Chains A and B, each alone.
Chain A
Amino acid sequence: MQAPAQTSGSGLRLAIVLGLVALAAIVPILLPSWATLITLVAAKGVVVLGVIILLQAGQVSFGHAMYFAVGAYAVAFWGRHMGPGDLILYLLLGSAAATLFGAVIGLFVVRYREIFFGMLNLAFSMVLWSLLEKLYHYTNGADGIRVVRPTIAGIAFQPETFQYALLYVTLVIAVVASYVAQRYLDSPLGHMLRAIKSNETRLEYLGVSARRVLLIGYVLSAFLCGLGGALVAVAQQIATPEFGYWTKSGEFVFIAILGGSSSALGAFAGSAVFEIVRFYAAAKLANTWQLILGVVLIAIIMFAPNGLVGILNRNRRNAEARR
């Protein structure tokens, strides 16, 4: 998502990414409980990637948790009515359902911009959330639906090994999703999407339908949210209406800004910091975890406008300048 003028260190970046993926893959072998945590970090990173795509167009959705929930519930409903399935099937289901949903709602919301875009997404997500809570007989209400552990590519794993298998699948998906998102943003459609942010009028005057461009970006982001939702549902073995509540949507935007909305790396860096802070705080600082996250976010916005990745880049540039 960076202009070529600034990607001179792309080899270095690749090395960093590979190093971090390797780290994410190895750490849980030493610390078993981190397998699920890192799975959740990577899966939510995929969701945040979807939110970041829309941020490229300057549009903030305060309702994207709805696609996250759709992905999760698609998996949960399958498990409930059709019995346990395969992870690959689950992921296809979750992302397909979210994509479909995104395409339908997208047709309405891409006519709107900025605050109206955000509000309409919020409104749709609140309708979905109310329905998940209300349709108790189908959704189990607030308790949510259990997601039965799937096989992976036909192999039935034991609980101990399953969490590793899921972790590695999720890491692969995260890497592939990042690459796909990056390719998309480097493509004509991606550049047109970014053009919506700075000058939609000009885009129309180049003969491009901004709505169409935005719709494609919107559907792609819904797809990523659904995929992440399906992964989180499998990792947590449950789907609850909380997945679709507005604070969840806010959390995704929060993570995107925290990490830095200008790169795929930001989605995962933000997700890692957010989840790890919350993970430790829920255990050690139960009384103040929201306080801590809130202060961290304000500090990032005030002092590091490009998020965690921005800090990283700045340090690197400074280091290069000194050399």
Chain B
Amino acid sequence: MSAPLLQARGLEIRFGGVVAADGVDLDVIEGENLAIIGPNGAGKTTFLNISTGYLKPLAGTVTFLGQDITRLPPRAITRLGIARAFQIPQLFLEQTVMENMMIAAAARSGETSGWRRLLDRPEREEMLRLLDSVGVAAFAERRAHELPEGQRKLVDIALALALKPRLLLMDEPTSGVASSEKMGVMDILVAALAREKVSSVFVEHDMDMVERYAHRVAVWSSGRIQTVGPPAQVLGDPEVRQRVIGI
């Protein structure tokens, strides 16, 4: 096994009286798609928030490629190569989808021109291809707020991918996507991740998804990681089934 890409050790955080993380250890290995599952409100999203610097843990550390990123702000962590897609899509609603993408492209290249036109940048083709690869190229010239929820979700992921990250963190990547299209979208997404050599962590409630796309599954419950392992093994565990999935 290669060295972990992202390593969390002893994370602790609480909100008011609620303990969301109480000594969480978790590794993300280069090249894998790691799913996090667990009951509602268990703190799965909190893990994404801590790993990206949006929340600071009370104790514990997160290291990425050997560097301690626990106290860094989101933008610094993003620049190190961790991108994030959100449960509720976070887009620039008043701008067109292409403009959204080009902002990401400009951000990736560290562009700070106040003169050259954004849309004249060379990455336009690349961004269009990226949009095409998640199936929303047709919306490129539409303003983001005009898109249906499912398409926004895809653009949200495309925005993260546009950064060419090493690691992509996703929060229920297909929630909001019509159920008939979920598998198709995930197929495309996972293929893209593999092609671009991007590792990923995704929080998920849909066990079919987890079973089909995750290399490993971590079960988050009562503020701790209860088990980590291959989907077949973890999802087969009766205790997990009862506590997490409620079957």
Direct contact of A and B (CB under 8 A): yes
| Interface residue ranges, A against B (CB under 8 Å) | 3-5, 183-184, 186-192, 194-195, 197-199, 201-209, 216, 220
A216 and B107 form a contact (CB under 8 A):
no
Q: Judging by beta carbons under 8 Å apart, are A194 and B92 in contact?
A: yes
Instruction: Please pick, from A4, A183, A186, A204, the residue contacting B73 in the complex, using a CB distance under 8 A.
Output: A204
Among all A-B residue pairs, the 7 with the closest Cβ atoms = A188-B106, A207-B78, A202-B90, A206-B107, A207-B79, A189-B114, A195-B92
Instruction: Note all chain B residues with C-beta closer than 8 A to A197.
Output: 94
A-B contact pairs, 17 of them (CB 8 A): A3-B95, A3-B141, A5-B142, A187-B116, A188-B102, A189-B114, A190-B118, A195-B95, A197-B94, A198-B93, A203-B92, A204-B75, A206-B75, A207-B78, A207-B163, A208-B103, A216-B114
Complex contacts, A208 vs chain B, CB 8 Å = 75, 103, 107
Whether A194 contacts B118 by the Cβ 8 Å rule is: no
Cα A5 to Cα B75 in complex, Å, equals 30
By the criterion CB–CB under 8 Å, are A186 and B74 in contact? no
Q: Chain A nearest CB: distance from B68 CB in Å? A: 18
Q: A188 to B163, Cβ gap below 8 A?
A: no
C-alpha gap A161/B239 in the complex (Å) = 91
Contact of B159 among A184, A190, A202, A216 (CB under 8 A): A202
Contact assessment for A202 and B92 in the assembled complex, using a CB-CB cutoff below 8 Å? yes
Determine which of A3, A188, A199 lies in contact with B93 in the assembled complex, contact meaning CB atoms within 8 Å.
A199
B157 to chain A, nearest CB (A): 12
Give which listed residue, B74, B102, B111, contacts A205 with CB less than 8 A: B74
Of A198, A209, A216, which contacts B75 at CB under 8 A? Answer: A209
| Most chain B CB within a 10 A radius of its CB, from A198, A205, A220 | A205
Q: A186-B117, A187-B115 are in contact. Are A207 and B107 (CB under 8 A)?
A: yes
Given the contacts A3-B95, A195-B95, A207-B79, A188 and B90 also touching, CB distance less than 8 Å: no
Q: Check if B118 sits within 8 Å of A202, measured CB to CB.
A: no
Given A189-B112, A190-B114, A205 contacting B75 (CB threshold 8 A): yes
| CA of A189 to CA of B121, assembled, Å | 13
CB-CB under 8 A from B75, the residues of chain A are: 204-209
Binary flags per residue of B158-178, CB closer than 8 Å to A gives 1, else 0: 011001000000000000000
Task: List, in ascending order, chain B residues with CB within 8 A of A205's CB.
Answer: 52, 74-75, 78, 83-84, 90, 160
Instruction: Name B76-118 residues within 8 Å CB distance of A.
Output: 76, 78-79, 83-84, 86, 90-96, 99, 102-104, 106-108, 111-118
| Residues of chain A within 8 A of B209, CB atoms compared | none
Given A3-B96, A197-B94, decide whether A206 and B114 contact each other with a Cβ distance below 8 A.
no
What number of A-B contacts does a CB cutoff of 8 Å give? 112
B residues in contact with A209, CB < 8 Å:
75
Distance in Å: Cβ of B71 to nearest Cβ of chain A: 15
**How large, as a class, is the contact surface on chain B?**
35 or more
Of A5, A188, A198, the contact of B112 (CB 8 Å cutoff): A188
A195 to B159: give the CA distance in the assembly, Å: 13
Q: What residues of A have a CB within 8 angstroms of the CB of B90 in the complex?
A: 199, 201-202, 205
> A184-B115, A187-B117 are known contacts. Are A198 and B79 too (CB-CB below 8 A)?
no
Which residues of B in the span 24-56 have a Cβ within 8 Å of any Cβ on A?
52
B143 at the interface (CB under 8 A from A): yes
A48–B114 alpha-carbon span in the complex (Å): 19
Give, as a whole number of angstroms, the nearest-CB distance from B117 to chain A.
5
How far is the CB of A205 from the nearest CB of chain B, in Å? 5
Extra contacts besides A202-B86, A206-B108 (6): CB < 8 Å: A4-B96, A188-B111, A202-B90, A206-B75, A207-B76, A209-B75
- Per-residue CB proximity of B102-138 to A under 8 Å, as 1/0? 1110111001111111110100000000000000000
Q: Give chain A residues whose Cβ lies under 8 Å from the Cβ of B143.
A: 3, 5
In chain B, what residue has the closest Cβ to A216? B114
CA gap between A192 and B113 in the complex, in Å: 11
Q: Choose among A183, A184, A207 the residue with the greatest number of B CB atoms under 10 Å from its CB.
A: A207
Interfacial chain A residues near B95, Cβ < 8 Å: 3, 191, 194-195, 198
Contacts of B102 in A (CB 8 A): 188, 191
Which residues from chain A contact B118 at a C-beta distance below 8 Å?
186-188, 190-191
Complex: chain B residue closest to A58, CB-CB: B94
B144 neighbours in A (Cβ, 8 Å): 198
Q: List chain A residues, Cβ under 8 A from B52.
A: 205
Measured CA separation A208–B75 after assembly (Å): 6
Decide if B92 touches A186 in the complex (CB within 8 Å).
no
Q: What is the bound-complex CA distance between A207 and B95, given in angstroms?
A: 18
Residue with the greatest number of chain B CB neighbours at <10 A, chosen from A184, A189, A209: A189
Q: How far apart are B202's CB and chain A's nearest CB, in angstroms? A: 16
Contacts of A207 in B (CB 8 A): 75-76, 78-79, 107-108, 163
Partner of A204, one of B74, B94, B99, B104: B74
What's the least CB distance linking A210 to chain B, in Å? 8
